[in-house]
Chain A
């Protein structure tokens, strides 16, 4: 469950029962991914279609955020 408040967004994860309080771009990344398995490049491209930035430059930043979200258990690492 995702509830945007002001500059922060609440994410309640049913599986762990933990409430996460996240700031941008975490909610935007989660929304862009939906239920899909994506690389950081692909997430960057989806976000670049919505927001005004260069997806090639943002991929590293998004990869770092994805790692943080994976540590929180909000996204899952897939190994091909």
Chain B
């Protein structure tokens, strides 16, 4: 079994694989990240059967935390399998922070957090802003500290889907991209290494200052979102709120009482960036 280790924010991963290629791809993309001594989570990319290790190789996603019905992926999507497995460990296992399914960027020590359904554009927006003067903190998970309420970065590889790939190829001209994986279960996927400041400062938290619920594909609009609606949406966006008990409750209630929230509609990245800058100036 081949092995690769990587530290992303506060979480340390060990990824084992029966094939070398996905780990070589990971090692190349994560080459600027710290290598941890003791992993929090182990992930294994294994063949579904002995035969399928060699013939039309098929990668089953295994690890400390597993979904029993997770479909295996072809070896060409081994990198995606590893990323999905790492996400799964966080979503099911992380207990040190309130974990929000959200993206975040930072400016002046303050965090802009964006959450919403898949396809809302939160990931693309974070990637875009991360290349336009903001520090990228993460495009998948935001970790909220149980004591301070600060947002802790989790800047894993940026996972670009479909149209976002072209948009970021045009924006991140000096960016390092992973291989294009067409027609995955999530559509076309291509990973992008976060900007170097995101990796260098991945241990530096930021105070949440603005929460946005973006919706892509509508005419530009802004709507204020009240604390109780924010609370309901954030509990839905958190995989570990219930498990954290009273700590989770006090952390999230403080969050919704102190962080202004807006829903924004937008048609493209330029419109979104203008809205973000306007709201940031007003609220943060």
B231 touches A5 (CB 8 A): yes
CA distance A6 to B225 in the complex (A): 11
Instruction: List, in ascending order, chain A residues with CB within 8 A of B257's CB.
Output: 3, 5
The reply to whether B253 and A3 contact each other, CB–CB distance below 8 Å, is yes
CA distance A14 to B226 in the complex (A): 25
Say if the beta carbon of B228 comes within 8 Å of chain A: yes
Alpha-carbon separation in the docked complex, A77 to B5 (Å): 56
Assess the A5–B227 pair: CB atoms within 8 A: yes
**A3-23: contact bitstring with B at CB < 8 Å (1 yes, 0 no)?**
101111010101001010100
Question: CB within 8 Å of A: which of B202-240?
Answer: 226-228, 231-232, 235
Q: Does B35 contact A (CB under 8 A)?
A: no
Which one, B226, B235, B246, B256, contacts A1 given CB within 8 A?
Answer: B246
**Cβ contact within 8 Å between B231 and A14:** no
Interchain CB contact under 8 A, A14 and B228:
no
By a CB distance below 8 angstroms, the chain B residues around A21 are: 228, 231-232
**A residues near B242, Cβ cutoff 8 Å:** 17
B144 to chain A, nearest CB (A): 16
Q: Which of B134-161 contact A (CB under 8 A)?
A: none
Question: Given A6, A7, A8, A19, which contacts B249 in the complex, CB threshold below 8 Å?
Answer: A19
Residues of B within 8 A of A12 (CB): 246, 249
CB 8 Å contact bits of B155-169 with A (1 = contact, 0 = none): 000000000000000
Kindly list chain A residues whose C-beta atoms are within 8 Å of the C-beta of B68. Answer: none
Please, which residue of chain A has its CB at the minimum distance from the CB of B227?
A5
Q: Which residue of B226, B235, B246, B250 is within 8 Å of A6 (Cβ)?
A: B226
Contacts of B133 in A (CB 8 A): none
Q: In the complex, A73 Cα to B242 Cα: how many Å?
A: 17
The residues of B that contact A8 with a CB separation of less than 8 Å are 228
Minimum distance in angstroms from B246 CB to a CB of chain A? 6
In the complex, which residue of chain B has the Cβ closest to the Cβ of A3? Answer: B253
Q: How far is the CB of B227 from chain A (nearest CB, A)?
A: 4
CB distance from B14 to the nearest CB of A (A): 32
Once A6-B226, A17-B242 are accepted as A-B contacts, the answer to whether A1 and B231 lie under 8 Å apart by CB is: no
In the bound complex, residues from chain B placing their C-beta under 8 Å from that of A7 are 226, 228
B245 at interface by CB-CB < 8 Å = yes
Q: List the A residue with the shortest CB-CB distance to B249.
A: A12
Chain B, residues 93-108, CB within 8 Å of chain A (1/0): the string is 0000000000000000
Instruction: Specify which of A5, A10, A17 is in contact with B245 (CB 8 Å cutoff).
Output: A17
Q: Chain A residues near B235 (CB, 8 Å)?
A: 19
Enumerate chain B residues within 8 angstroms of A17, measured Cβ to Cβ.
Answer: 242, 245-246
The smallest beta-carbon distance between A27 and chain B, in angstroms, is 12
Chain A interface residues (CB < 8 Å from chain B): 1, 3, 5-8, 10, 12, 14, 17, 19, 21
Q: Which 5 pairs show the lowest CB-CB distances between chains A and B?
A: A8-B228, A5-B227, A12-B249, A5-B228, A6-B226
Excluding A10-B228, A10-B253, 19 further A-B contacts by CB distance (< 8 Å) are A3-B253, A3-B257, A5-B226, A5-B228, A5-B256, A5-B257, A6-B226, A6-B227, A7-B226, A8-B228, A10-B231, A10-B249, A12-B249, A17-B242, A19-B235, A19-B249, A21-B228, A21-B231, A21-B232
Can you list 18 A-B pairs with a CB-CB distance of less than 8 A?
A1-B249, A1-B250, A5-B227, A5-B253, A5-B256, A5-B257, A6-B228, A7-B226, A8-B228, A10-B231, A10-B249, A12-B246, A12-B249, A17-B242, A17-B245, A17-B246, A19-B249, A21-B231
